[in-house]
Amino acid sequence: MGFFTDTSVCIGCKACEVACKEWNGVPEDGLDFTGMSYDNTQGLGADTWRHVAFIEQDKPIGNAESGIDHAGAPGNGATDMRWLMASDVCKHCTHAACLDVCPTGSLFRTEFGTVVVQEDICNGCGYCIPACPYGVIDQRKGDGRAWKCTLCYDRIGAGREPACAKACPTDSIQYGPLDELRERAALRVEQLHDLGVEDARLYGHDPNDGVGGDGAFFLLLDEPEVYGLPPDPVVTTRDLPSIWKHTGLAAAVLLGGITAAFAAHGRSGGRR
Amino acid sequence: MSEMSEGNESRVTREGVQGERPDREARIGEGLARRDGGRRGRRAEKAMVPEAEFSSSYYGLPILNPPVWKSLDIAGYFFLGGVAGAGSVLAAGAQLTGRPAVARALKISSLAAIAGSTAALIDDLGRPARFVNMLRVMKLTSPMSMGSWLLAAYGPAAGAAAVLDVTGLFPRLGGAATAGAAALGPLVATYTAALAADTAVPAWHDVHRELPMVFAGSATAAASGAALLACPVRETAPMRTTAVLGAALELAAAKWMEHRAGLVAEPYRKGKGGRFVRAGEILSVAGATGGALFGGRSRAAAALSGAALLAGSACTRFGVFHAGVQSAKDPKYTVVPQRERLAAAAEPSAKQSAL
Ligand code: SF4
Ligand code: SF4
């Protein structure tokens, strides 16, 4: 099970952010004024499990025109402005780096294919935080443990949809079996392309990508990095064989070098 | 699930979507009119503006969540692990070749260093009381898990080697402990490089081939420095050689790493990370050269060189630590290499379609 977030219908109401905080009892995480359009949340972290990004661009969406006559105004009556809004969340990666590197087994894969932290086990080592290629999981200040989206493990276990999907008034956040969501997402991209929204594309839907496909994937209207998403994330443990091999090699060089030095010098009292 | 009859519940079932909201298929971008040619022409003109090398990121915010590790704890943990691990190998060598003062000093320094390293690791936990959870599972995919088990085996061996040497009790057991610590030592000194590399931090992950060599060299130089600092000149000749070997390996591997990694290695030359790396280079070269030239003649020169080697190794580890944090905080280091990778992957197919 997973999420399909269709950002083309997101209206930036932040109902998902609020619903998530309420349902999961996520504490307040500072009230900042950032000046980043309407985004004062800034990004995902220990106390933000859904984050709505706001991007203002000097460019229309597809063939959209306001219909208001701006004749005489610069731009020939065009309203070349679009607002991209996108609700970001933990991707629940098929190959999840956070889970791979967790030394306590606190992070685990659920029966729904999602990735969840067991808060009674996490010892706050912080390893999962720089391991996540998306910058999702983080340490909660004053608590010390790592926290992130659980895809409402408690709700979906009881046959309910996650709080964010439930609260989303436009169905920008859709919850369901991944293969069905992928099918529907492909149809939606086609529909948008037909409407002239040529920059519509899916992100994280491909099971052959660097993380084996995301359990939460997206329909975006611009490059991923514009939304603060990495363009080609790869699970760090894909290189693990090479990492261990080179670590072993370095250990062997250390041992060999020191042995050689002692062999060359011989017993004490001998050659200097 | 028929009991769920709330109005706005939408469900994806095998039979299709039920109760979806009307806006799901919103025909955004449909617009009122097709654009005319004149406007398209104007847009095309706009596209002539050359794109900045790196223009797109979300308000310049980092893509990754940077490590929350405290530099003193984690860079200190890397450094002390190196002093301990390489020290155990040197101690065994010294013992086998009849250099008891060096053997004893390094066994003690290894015990102190590994205790300090473990304390630093525990201090850095968000929940230090749950440290034992590290031994709850054994995971090859987690260098921190493997490292915890390694410390659990190495710590007692290093401890027994030191205590039995000082007390003179059970010499055969002491010999076995010394050998055991020496066998695990090289990994204790280098696995921390795997720990850093097994993350999404660009300046750590992308140098995963070279970083362990940097750590191996740095550890050897540091442990040799400890011997030069603590032991009489007549016994430290091999340690003056290993100091040179270690410093040379550390420097060569670091240069190779910076050369290979390109853009991602920039933090090793800039800012706090760059300053520490530079200081590490200078101190290591000074310590190794000083030890080689004067360490055999003057006790004071040997001690000074040893201190420089230890400080150099510590600076290198702090440099690596800060360079990693810097690279995680700037989205450029995450986005640009990934873009290049995508472009490189797309190239062959583009060539093919051009044919
Ligand atoms: S997005 Fe990050 S936190 Fe979420 S499952 Fe993937 S690696 Fe883990
Ligand atoms: S901080 Fe907690 S969840 Fe994250 S790796 Fe450490 S023990 Fe696992």
Please give the angle made by the CA atoms of B175, B177 and B182, to the nearest 5 degrees.
Answer: 95
Q: Is the pLDDT of residue A64 over 70?
A: yes
- B56/A226 Cβ within 8 A: yes
CA–CA separation, B170 and B184 (whole Å)? 21
Provide the token pair at B143: 């260098």
Exposure string over B61-77, b if 16+ CB within 10 A, otherwise e: bbbbbbbbbebebbbbb
| pLDDT tens-place string over residues A27-54 | 998 888 999 999 999 999 999 999 999 9
**CA distance, residue B67 to nearest chain A CA (Å):** 5
Residue A173: count of CB within 10 angstroms of its CB: 27
**Average pLDDT over chain B, rounded to whole?**
89
User: Is the distance from the beta carbon of residue A146 to the nearest atom of ligand 2 less than 6 Å?
Assistant: yes
Q: How far apart are CA B218 and CA A207, in angstroms?
A: 41
Q: Which atom of ligand 2 is nearest to the CA of A127?
A: 5
Distance CA B238, CA B244 (A): 10
* Residue from A115, A128, A148 whose mutation best tests the ligand 2 pocket (most atoms within 8 A of CB): A128
pLDDT at A61 over 80: yes
Q: Which atom of ligand 2 is nearest to the CA of A101?
A: 5
The answer, yes or no, to whether any atom of ligand 1 lies below 6 A from the CB of A97, is yes
**pLDDT at residue A175 is higher than 90:** yes
Q: Would the CB atoms of A265 and B61 count as touching at under 8 Å?
A: no
A106 Cβ below 6 A of ligand 2 = yes
- For chains A and B, count residue pairs whose Cβ atoms are closer than 8 Å: 342
Alpha-helix residue ranges (DSSP H) falling in B65-134: 71-96, 100-124
Give the chain B residue whose CA is nearest to the CA of A248: B187
Which residue from B97, B101, B117 is spatially nearest to B158, judged by alpha carbons? B117
- Residue range A84-139, pLDDT digits in tens: 999 999 999 999 999 999 999 999 999 999 999 999 999 999 999 999 999 999 99
**What are the respective helix, strand and coil percentages of chain B, to the nearest 5?**
75, 0, 25
Q: How far apart are CA B210 and CA B258, in angstroms?
A: 9
| Rounded-to-integer distance, Cα A44 and Cα A59, Å | 27
In angstroms, what is the span from residue B71 Cα to ligand 2's centroid?
18
| CB-CB neighbors (< 8 A) of B243 in chain A | none
Q: Which two tokens stand for residue A176?
A: 């369901």
Q: Per-residue DSSP letters for B285-324?
A: HHHHHHHHHHTTT-HHHHHHHHHHHHHHHHHHHHHHHHHH
- Which of B12, B21, B148 is closest, CB to CB, to A176? B12
Residue whose C-alpha is closest to residue A91's, from A241, A240, A238, A234: A234
CB contact burial A41-76 (16+ within 10 A = b; e otherwise): bbbbbbbbbbbbbbbeeeebbbebbeeeeeeeeeee
* B window 166-195, beta carbon within 8 A of A: 185-187, 189-191, 193-195
Residue range A192-250, pLDDT digits in tens: 999 999 999 999 999 999 999 999 999 999 999 999 999 999 999 999 999 999 999 99
What's the residue count for chain B?
355
Mean per-residue pLDDT for A50-61?
90
Q: Cβ(A228)–Cβ(A43) under 8 Å?
A: yes
Among B191, B195, B248, smallest CA distance to B217 is for B248
CB contact under 8 A, B197 and A268: no
Domains of chain B, earliest start first = 71-331 (1.20.1630.10)
- The rounded Å distance from CA A111 to ligand 1 centre is 17
pLDDT tens digits, one per residue of A95-107: 999 999 999 999 9
Average pLDDT over residues B311-329: 98
CB A88 within 8 A of CB A227: yes
Q: How many helices (H) and strands (E) does chain A have?
A: 7, 10
Q: Is the CB of A90 under 6 A from ligand 1?
A: yes
Which ipTM was obtained for this model? 0.93
Structure tokens that stand for A127 in this block:
């390893």
